[in-house]
Amino acid sequence: MITEILRAPGAEIHYDVAGSGPLLLLVPGGPADATAFAALRPFLADRYTVVTFDPRGLSRSRPAELDDDLVGQHAEDVQRLLAELDAGPVSVLANSGGAITMLEHTVRYPGAVRTLVAHEPPVSRYLGELLADFPDIPAIYRDQGVDAALGAFMAASGLQPPPPPEHPTAEDVEQDKRMLGNFEVFFGKLMGAIGAWEPDLEALAAADTRIVVAVGGAAGTPAYEAGVGLAGALGGEPVKFPGDHGGFAAEPEAFAARLAEILDEEK
């Protein structure tokens, strides 16, 4: 795997390239970084050139200048990365808030991506009563700190954090420090930008990009229901993937096979 740095206005975006074949960009969600796809990447690198990255303001791409419209800023960074890679239209798997980034990118750069698999994008418009019951996580963060905000967010999202390693390595400890900083950015700025994002359905439908909205198996959770709602608004049904919101990490081999199946349909 090769690690490179994309120099963007106000940030240095660290990205990794592995494998060979057509280019496949993996976009992490929320506070996640490139390591979110560590388990998935080996099952893709035999048939794709897999690119992962740490978004602006997160992990290796800190410190950075962050706009209030961080979704738009992240979308522009993706376009800079695609221009740097100079591979023509590419395929993209984007999870959660990363899927919001890529939907915004599709509106701004229709056709720059060949196929976008948007995995459980948490579009607030389609959350219904779930949104009304969702706590104000940024406010909890401001008043009570990261730990309280994280607990409330996990409970409201229906997510289960992975168990900590029994014998953490120095690398595990360093990653924990990175994630603490990432959650500060997520709760302090990014989560609000994601929640405020509204889909331009007309622009998405008109784009040359093939948009595949995907969901896991955890029906009733906010991200799942939002994915179902967005797929319906775009005139279709969501495509089912193995696992739940983090199926790419929990069931990487099955997830990779399903992703390859979807991408093969574009040929």
pLDDT at 70: 97
CB atoms within 10 A of CB 124: 19
Closest CA to 70 of 197, 178, 183, 213: 197
The whole-chain average pLDDT of the chain stands at 95
Q: How confident is the model at residue 163 (pLDDT cuts 50, 70, 90)?
A: confident
Cα angle for residues 56, 62, 67 (degrees, 5° grid): 45
Q: Percent of the chain beyond pLDDT 70?
A: 100
Closest CA to 222 of 7, 29, 42: 29
The CATH architecture assigned to 2-130+198-264 reads: 3-Layer(aba) Sandwich (3.40)
Whether 91 and 23 have beta carbons less than 8 Å apart is answered as yes
Three-state DSSP class for 60? Answer: helix
In this prediction, residue 88 carries a pLDDT of: 82
Tokens of 147: 């730990």
Query: In terms of pLDDT, which residue wins out, 231 or 176?
Result: 231
CB 199 within 8 A of CB 233: yes
What angle (nearest 5°) sits at the alpha carbon of residue 41, between those of residues 36 and 42? Answer: 135
Look up residue 190 and give its DSSP letter. I
Average pLDDT over residues 49-76: 97
Residue 172, pLDDT score: 83
Kindly tell me if the per-residue pLDDT of 61 is higher than 90. Answer: yes
pLDDT of 267 reads 55
For 80-139, how does the pLDDT look when each residue is reduced to its tens digit (9 = 90+)? 999 999 988 899 999 999 999 999 999 999 999 999 999 999 999 999 888 888 999 999
pTM higher than 0.85, yes or no?
yes
Q: Long-range CB contacts (< 8 A, 24+ apart) of 207-211?
A: 207/106, 207/107, 207/110, 207/111, 208/110, 208/111, 209/106, 209/110, 209/111, 209/112, 209/113, 209/114, 209/115, 209/116, 210/114, 210/115, 210/116, 210/266, 211/103, 211/106, 211/116, 211/118
